[in-house]
Structure 1
Amino acid sequence: MSREMVAVAPFRPPSAPMGVAVLGATGCVGRHLCAAFAAEGNEVVAIARRYAPQVAAHRFLPLDVAGSTSDELARVLAREGVDVVVNATLGWGEELHYTNVQLVERLLGALERLPAPPRLVHLGTIHEYGPTPFGTSLREDTEPVPEHPYAKAKLIASRMVLDAVRDGGLDAVVMRVANTLGPHPALESFFGSLAVRLRGADAATGIELTIANARRDYVDVRDAVDAVVRAASITRADPLVNIGSGRARGVRELVDELVAAAGLPPETVREQRGEVHSRGADWIQVDIARAGHLLGWRPRFTLRESMRAMWETVGADQPIPARQHS
C-alpha cells in the first residue's frame, strides 16, 4: 500500500484553523481529541449518540452515525462544513458490528456523496494484527491475523477505509493505536477498573488480582491524540500508521507502577493464579518509525506520568462504584 503513496514533506502545523468533527466525542479518547483540536484553534463539533459533560466546552451534535443513512450523514457533514472527520468510535458485545463496521460503511458512503469530502482519520486498534512472535515489533506491513471478534471487526472497518484510499476516492489515514493509559480512563478497562479497586482497597488486606503473564505496549492517551491531530493536517500520505510507545512492558510492571502512583505499598496487590480472559496478545510491541518520519511524532509522557494522571482522574466523570463488603 505505501508504495503507491506520494512522499510528503515533514510535518508542519496547519496555517489556518480547521473545522473538525469528532465521532465518538464522549469516549475516553474522543474527549481528549476534542480538547486537543480546540487547543490548536480549530472549530470542533463533538458528535455522539448522547451528551456527556466532558464535551461541554464544545458544540455538541447528538447523532447516531451508524443508525443514519449515508445520505443523512452527508447532509450533516455538508452543513457543518468540516475539513476533517475523526472516527474515534468503538463498540463491544452486541454492538460489535453496528458500531465498528456499519458505522464506517455509512460514513464512507456519506463521504462519497460530497463534492469535496473532508479528510478522514480513522482510529483502528493495534489488536488488528493479532498475535505476533515474542520479541518482534508490529510494522505497518505486518500481515493482520486477528483472533478476537473485536479485533476482526475493527480490521474489517480499517480495510474498508484503506480500500477507499487505494481506489483514489478518499483522503484518509488509518491509525492503529495501542492500548492507552493516562487521564480519565474508561472504568471498564483493565487499569481503569484496577484504579477503582485501589480507591476502595483496605490498606491492611489489599486486593487479589489475576495478572496476565504478558508484555504489551501501552501509550499515553495524550500522546496518541497528539499523533491524530498531526495526521489530520497531512494529505495524500501513507494511509496506515501505527501508534504506541515502542516498548513492550510486563503487565505486572504496569500494575506496580499504578500502585506506586496511588501511594500504596507494593504488597497492596497480591497476585493470584487463574485464567486471564484478555483481548490482547501475550506480546505486543509497536514499531513507531513511520509515525516519527511522517508526523514528526514521538511519545512524550513517561509511564510514571501516565499512571499518576490516571490515578488523579479516575472517577472524575463517573462516580466510583461503592465498595462491596463481604
Structure 2
Amino acid sequence: MIEQGDDMVIKQRSQDEDGDRRLRVMVLGGTGFLGQPVCRRLADHGHDVVAVARHARHLGSGVAVRALDLAEAQVDDVAALLAEVDPDVVVNAAGGMWGLTEEQMVAVNVTLVERLVAAAGRLPRRIRLVQLGSVHEYGLVPIGASMPETMTPAPVMPYGEFKVRCAEVIAEAHRQGALEGVTLRIGNVIGAGQPRHSLLGVVAGKLREAQLAGGRARLELAPLGSQRDFVGLGEVVAAIVLAVTRPGVGGHVINIGRGVAASARDMVQLLIDASEVPTDLVEAERTGPAETTWQRLDIALAAELLGWSPSDDLYAEMKQLWEHSVARVPA
C-alpha cells in the first residue's frame, strides 16, 4: 500500500510528468447527462480524459472514449480497463434510476461500484474515486430543516438505498487504503440533456410536441407540491471538477445543491416560461402522502472543502434544457 497522503499520489504524478496538475481522468458513464459535460469541462481545463460508456461516440477533442457495458462488466474487465488507462482519478457518473427496474438499478449502481472498488484494489497505486451520489440517500426531514452530511441516511425509495450502499462501499475502501474515495450527494439536477423519463424531461417533450403542432400544451401532471433541492447542471459539473482536483477531500461525503427547497410546481412553471409555449397546467389532487415532501441540502462543507457555491438563478439552466429539447426533436 502506498504510504503517501491522500493527495500526494495525484500531485506527484502530475507534476513529474507535466509540470503542473494535469491529470488523467476516467469518467464512467461519460456520454450521459452528467458524464458528458464533466468530460468536456475537464478536457477544457487541460486534463487527459477517457470516457467509458456502453457505446463509444465522439465527445470532441481531448476526450478519448472506451466502449464497455458497465452493467455487465466483471471485475477482470474493469481491472483491465483501469490498467490500460492508468488514471489518476475515476469519476463514477454511471448509474441511474429513470426508466429502470429495481434489478437494473442494483446492477448499474451497487454492483458496478462493488466491482469498480475491487478492480481499483488491484492497481499498484492508489487512485481517487469520485462517486456521484444523491440527495435521495437522506430520505426526508421536517419542513424547514436542512440535511447535513452528518445526518444518518434514511432513504424512502430504492434508488436512495442503492446509492447509500455505494457510498458505504467506497467509504470502507477508503478506510482500508484501497483508494481515495469521495462521495458527492447531489440534489435534483436541471440542465441540457435532462433524462426523458424525468419530470422535466417529460414536460419538455410535451411542450415541444405542442410547439411543433402550433397549439397550446396541456400538461396533466401528478401533484407538484413536493419541495426539493434543485441545482443547475453547470454548477454540479463545476463541483465535480473541483472534487477531481482539490486536495483534502478524501474520505468525505459532500453535499452539492443550492441549499434551497423549491416546489416541483415552480420548476415546471419555470420550464414553461423558458419555452414560451402557451400551456394549460392541470395538477391532480393528492390522494396519499408525497413521495418526497421536503429536501434541502446543507452545503457549507462544499464551500469549505471545494471552495464551491451555487448560483441562485436556475432560469439559464432551464433555458438550456429547453433549447436542447428543441434540438433533440427538430421540426
In 2, distance between residues paired with 1:88 and 1:205? 34
Pairwise CA distance, 1:248: 0.4
Asked if 2 retains the 8 angstrom alpha-carbon contact of 1:217 and 1:284, the reply is yes
In 2, distance between residues paired with 1:71 and 1:152? 27
Question: Which residue of the partner structure matches residue 109 of structure 2?
Answer: 100
Asked if 1 retains the 8 angstrom alpha-carbon contact of 2:228 and 2:261, the reply is yes
Pairwise CA distance, 1:50: 1.6
Q: Does 1:74 align with 2:79?
A: yes
SS at match of 2:123: coil
- Comparing 116-125 with 194-203, greater Cα deviation is found at 194-203
Equivalent residue runs for 1:1-326 within 5 Å: 15-52=20-57, 55-57=59-61, 58-91=63-96, 92-93=100-101, 94-201=103-210, 203-204=215-216, 206-237=218-249, 238-265=251-278, 268-273=280-285, 281-300=292-311, 302-314=313-325, 316-317=327-328, 319=329
In 2, distance between residues paired with 1:301 and 1:38? 27
**Which letter does structure 1 place at the counterpart of 2:174?**
V
Question: Which residue of the partner structure matches residue 11 of structure 1?
Answer: none
SS at match of 1:314: helix
Kindly tell me: are residues 29 and 64 of structure 1, through their superposed partners in 2, closer, same or farther at Cα, counting changes over 3 Å? same
Asked if 2 retains the 8 angstrom alpha-carbon contact of 1:32 and 1:225, the reply is yes
In 2, distance between residues paired with 1:176 and 1:95? 21
SS at match of 2:166: helix
TM-score normalised by the chain length of structure 2: 0.86
Asked if 2 retains the 8 angstrom alpha-carbon contact of 1:22 and 1:85, the reply is yes
Kindly tell me: are residues 117 and 74 of structure 1, through their superposed partners in 2, closer, same or farther at Cα, counting changes over 3 Å? farther
- Comparing 204-213 with 100-109, greater Cα deviation is found at 204-213
Pairwise CA distance, 1:35: 0.7
Pairwise CA distance, 1:153: 1.0
In 2, distance between residues paired with 1:124 and 1:118? 19
SS at match of 1:59: strand
TM-score normalised by the chain length of structure 1: 0.87
Asked if 2 retains the 8 angstrom alpha-carbon contact of 1:48 and 1:62, the reply is yes
In 1, distance between residues paired with 2:125 and 2:94? 23
SS at match of 1:146: coil
The percentage of aligned residue pairs carrying the same residue is: 36
Asked if 2 retains the 8 angstrom alpha-carbon contact of 1:65 and 1:107, the reply is no
In 1, distance between residues paired with 2:218 and 2:76? 55
In 1, distance between residues paired with 2:6 and 2:66? 35
Asked if 1 retains the 8 angstrom alpha-carbon contact of 2:227 and 2:293, the reply is yes
Asked if 1 retains the 8 angstrom alpha-carbon contact of 2:257 and 2:299, the reply is yes
SS at match of 2:245: coil
Kindly tell me: are residues 171 and 205 of structure 1, through their superposed partners in 2, closer, same or farther at Cα, counting changes over 3 Å? closer
Asked if 2 retains the 8 angstrom alpha-carbon contact of 1:185 and 1:310, the reply is yes
SS at match of 2:52: strand
In 2, distance between residues paired with 1:25 and 1:147? 28
Asked if 2 retains the 8 angstrom alpha-carbon contact of 1:23 and 1:30, the reply is yes
Asked if 1 retains the 8 angstrom alpha-carbon contact of 2:217 and 2:277, the reply is no
Asked if 2 retains the 8 angstrom alpha-carbon contact of 1:36 and 1:225, the reply is yes
Kindly tell me: are residues 68 and 252 of structure 1, through their superposed partners in 2, closer, same or farther at Cα, counting changes over 3 Å? closer
SS at match of 1:122: strand
Asked if 2 retains the 8 angstrom alpha-carbon contact of 1:71 and 1:113, the reply is no
In 2, distance between residues paired with 1:259 and 1:276? 27
- Comparing 63-72 with 141-150, greater Cα deviation is found at 63-72
- Write out per-residue CA displacement over residues 271-299 of structure 1, whole angstroms, 9 at most, x where no aligned residue: 23355898x52101111100011101011
- CA RMSD of superposed structures (Å): 2.5
Q: Which runs of 5+ in 2 are unaligned?
A: 8-14
Asked if 2 retains the 8 angstrom alpha-carbon contact of 1:208 and 1:272, the reply is yes
SS at match of 1:270: strand
Asked if 2 retains the 8 angstrom alpha-carbon contact of 1:24 and 1:30, the reply is yes
Asked if 2 retains the 8 angstrom alpha-carbon contact of 1:184 and 1:315, the reply is no
In 2, distance between residues paired with 1:36 and 1:276? 42
Asked if 2 retains the 8 angstrom alpha-carbon contact of 1:212 and 1:276, the reply is no
The alignment covers a number of residue pairs equal to 308
Q: Which runs of 5+ in 1 are unaligned?
A: 8-13
